[in-house]
Structure 1
Amino acid sequence: MTFADDFAPIEEEQEPQSPWPVAFGVTFTPRITGILLGVIGVAGAAALAYYVVLPAWTALTGLQTTRDQQALERDELLATIQRRQELEIQAQQAQLRRQQVLDLFASEDAVNTLLLDINQQVQAREGQIETYDPAEEPVQLVQDGSWGGDVNGLLKNKRLSMQVDGTFDRVQNVLRSFEQLQAVLSIENLAVNAIGTQQLRFEQGQLVASEPPELTARFDVEVLLPVSEEELAEQLAAQAAAAQQAAEGQPVDGQPTPAQ
């Protein structure tokens, strides 16, 4: 005897399926998926920062450094240009002052006509030149410090002797007139003596000179001249050569050789 239930199929028990995807044995729940996406995002951001942002930042920093360096160099260049312009202006002003000072001195050509210039000054003041004796030695370089050590080697002088006759006022005016000459003169060894005897007369109970006394004034004149540019260049070259010889231990021209 058989029963119908005996032939009914027996359904196999099936495991419940997860609603979340599974890969490599890992069920990607929303939490795991969120964590995984966060890790991927962080890694992507790090990669983006390393491969894109960091090189761009490095390049930007380099450009800023280059810009700052160029700005500094530009400022230094502008400061150098400004300083150079200031030095050029100072040099021009110094050259102008030097030329103004040199204009106060006579040239060697003016020394040759000095007698004519002095004679004009004397005659204009009714004086008379009795003697004019230029020194035989030529124009000499001033090296004795008589005009100050700072101008040694920068000035030359020419000496001459003179004698001028006239009244006291005329002689005084003649000496003062030398200031109007172009040449820079120095009057030295001035000696004034009376010529002859003075005539006196008795007037209103007092002795009065009939005429102003005649005087003779003897003095030496030193004419100052500046050295020329060529002479100054020769002096500087000689000084440089002497300094080089001294540095090399060689005897300088004009100095004795040190004893061995």
Structure 2
Amino acid sequence: MPNETSFGELTRETLSELSADAIAVVPLGATEQHGRQLPTATDTMIATHLAERSVRLVADEVKVVLCPTVPYGFSEHHVPFGGTISLDNDTYIRVLTSIGRSLSRSGFKRLIFLNGHGGNVAPGSAAADRLVTELGLDLAVGLLSYWECIDERTRAAFTMPAPGHAGGFEAALISALAADLVLPLPQDQGSSARDDAARPLNVSDEMKGTTRFPNMWQASDGVTDIPAHPDPVLGAELLENVSIAIAEYVKQFDAATR
């Protein structure tokens, strides 16, 4: 039997019947380097899992259709390190706009982009504005990055802002999802990784506004916080807590857009 919440497992007739009332959820991932320890699909794996879990949590209360994950994002700043497939900013905005427009033409009136990669935030917001304001579609659009659902107690447990990039937080999540994909840290990597992670990649962390410098990422080893030995138990707890928070967001979005 097809999964009643999975876009890819449903027929066009079933989707047509669901579209007027259901929320389409599109997970946004990325395929990019995650240092020397984590797989390139880290963001995609996390976004996909959180979308699947949160949809299951609300399935009895809200009509939701889970769309396939977009596995590529705006990752230009990771390209110099290798192991990265990126869409440029304009292309990514067009991709998300096309997805939203297609869903609208298929009858959907509500859409949530569930984001798992920091580089997708700005172009994702631009796509949402284009869909609603420029194109004037009869489509309510939400953009939620999963780390917005991390509570302050959890954030305080990490030395750098969660989720960071390729550090202890993401290692914990991936170790809970696919422990065999997390490589052990070489014994001699610890000090150099800590030195690299200590270099600020964006001075906007300590300054008002947003500032970018040439070769800012190249000054590090492609990470923003300290690589760490993964904790799968902590990772599973984090995934569940964030899934519950995302489910609450979906219910709020449903109530606000009916």
Q: Mark yes or no: TM-score above 0.5.
A: no
Q: What range describes the TM-score normalised by the shorter chain of this pair?
A: under 0.3
Which has the bigger relative contact order, CA under 8 A and spacing at least 6?
A: 2
Normalized per residue, which structure has more strand?
Answer: 1
Q: Please give the TM-score of this superposition, normalised by the length of structure 2.
A: 0.21
